[in-house]
Every structure is written in C-alpha cells, then in structure tokens.
C-alpha cells in the first residue's frame, strides 16, 4: 500500500501533467487510476533502491547556509 505522502505526490504529478486541477465525473476515474498506478510505481522504485549512504537533508538549503554563517 502506498503511503499518504506517495499518494499526495502522485496526485500532484497527475494534476501537473494532465492540467486537471479538479476532476469531473468524466475525468475522475481515469485520474484516480493514474494516481494509484503512479503511487504504486513510486513505492516499487523506493523499495528497490539500496539504502542511501548519506541520508537526505531535512533542513532546506538556504537555512543550512544561514546557520553556517
């Protein structure tokens, strides 16, 4: 099962590539199917990658720079 974050990212991606901001009765089924497929593909990709040697930074780059100065 895809996480809520993965589903939100898939939904945002589908909105961007389709240009559909709000689904209608005519577009909802196709849109939701695409969201499910993309969320599943994202989960598969993340699960197949080896662990990262350096975990991703959680602090935005500009804040890191400000803290260093």
Q: What is the pLDDT of residue 29?
A: 93
pLDDT, greater one: 9 or 60: 9
Q: What is the pLDDT of residue 2?
A: 65
Per domain, the residue ranges of the chain are 4-53
In our burial notation (b when 16+ CB lie closer than 10 A, e otherwise), range 29-45 reads eebeebbeebbeebbee
DSSP letter string, 14-56: HHHHH--SS--TTTHHHHHHHHHHHHHHHHHHHHHSPPPSSPP
pLDDT above 70 for 21: yes
pLDDT above 90 for 42: no
pLDDT, greater one: 57 or 41: 41
Cα 55 to chain centroid, rounded: 18
* 22-37 pLDDT, tens digit each: 889 998 999 999 999 9
């Amino acid at each position: 099962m895809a996480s809520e974050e993965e589903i939100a990212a898939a939904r945002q991606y589908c909105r961007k590539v389709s240009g559909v901001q709000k689904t209608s009765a005519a577009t909802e089924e196709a849109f939701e199917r695409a969201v499910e497929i993309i969320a599943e593909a994202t989960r598969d990709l993340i699960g197949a990658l080896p662990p990262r040697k350096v975990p991703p930074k959680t602090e935005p780059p500009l804040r890191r720079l400000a803290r260093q100065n």
